[in-house]
Every structure is written in structure tokens, then in C-alpha cells.
Amino acid sequence: MARTKHKKIVEVNLLPNVFNIKNGSTDKDIVKYFANENPISLEIGCGHGDYTISLARNFSHRNFIGVDLKGARIWVGAKIALENKLTNAAFLRGNIEALSEFFVTKKIEEIIIPFPDPHIRRASESRRLVSSMFLEIYKSILSQGGKIHLKTDNEILFDYAMGILSDSKYQIIYKSNNIHAEKDIPIIAAIQTKYEKHYLKEGRSIKYISFRLKN
């Protein structure tokens, strides 16, 4: 198992649709890979790339970048994208805190945060991916009017996000504490990862917020 994981970590750096912040890649390299000027969406904490792959399949007129620190996870999504010739899907390995160093041209129009670690303990609030610190990072890479989408099954994280977004510098576009009970669900919210399907089988309600950062 460990040998397989190591092999993936080595191989992931050789895949043409994978970029690494530590290796000096920039957003210009990814734009060159896409070879078009289509809008770009960024998935934070993409794991095995379920969401990024599904979005790329549903929106051929957009480009999608999945971000994660774990190379073995990214390898899975990157290989699927290559095997299915999804040229509008790419992956970025690195820390979220370093995104502003990588995306210097503000080409990101959309950020998607599906089921992040809620960091339940109060001492870990700053690590929540919708904390004020992370929202400032997103603001530094989003284009004018860019949107952020959050999906979670965690009530504490949902309430925390709603509290943060009550500030006048944020504009909530859509919110629901049970998105799959709504009618006319946005496609971006309707897409389900394997973990989300598992949560739904357990009877958990899925919460969703779409919002903008005002400039």
C-alpha cells in the first residue's frame, strides 16, 4: 500500500495536467495548458477530484482546477481527466495559504469549497476554509464579481459561515440548510461526490451557500 502511494506521488509530478506551487509553476502555466480564454473555477481541497471531474464534464465551456496538498489524491483525479480527455480539468498541488503567490493575474471567477474539514474546536476556527483569513486569500485571486460556493453537512460550520458573511462586505446569492430539498437546484450544488452520497444515505442534510466578496 505504502509502495503504491509512493509511486503515485512520484508519478503525479510528471502528469501534464498537474502543477505544483513548490516547483515554481504559475497560473500562466495552467492557462497555457488549457490553451483557451474560458472562465476558470477553482476547487479547494479537491481530494480525489470527484467534484472537479464532474464539473468539467458538465461545463465544457469552463476550465476547472482542483487544489489539494496530497499528491496521491490528486493523482487519481488527474489520471481520470487524462483518460477521459477532459482537457478543461487540471490540478494544483500546494497549500491554500500559497494560492495568492500562484494566481497572480486574478483569472479565477469562481471558488468551490465542498465539504471542508469543519475544525469543530473553537481553537481551530482560524483553520476553517471560510474564516476571515482564507476569505482574504480568495479575494486576492478572484476576478471582479467572483463567486464562492460552500457545501457542508456540518451545522457548526454552516452557522459559522453565515456569521462571517453577515458582514456588509459580503453578498449572499443563495443559501439553504437542506439544498436537496429545494426546487431548481443550481447544477454546481446538485453534483454529488461519493462522500456526499454517503452523508445523504445517513440522513444528513446538505447545506449550501453561494456568495460574493464585495470590493
Give the residue numbers marked as catalytic: 117
**Residue-wise DSSP of 41-81:** EEEES-TTSHHHHHHHHH-TTSEEEEEES-HHHHHHHHHHH
Give CA separation, 87 vs 24, 31, 59, 107, 164, in Å. 22, 11, 12, 18, 36
Q: What is the dihedral of CA 50, 131, 152, 27, to 10 degrees?
A: -20
Pairing of strands 63-68, 207-213: unpaired
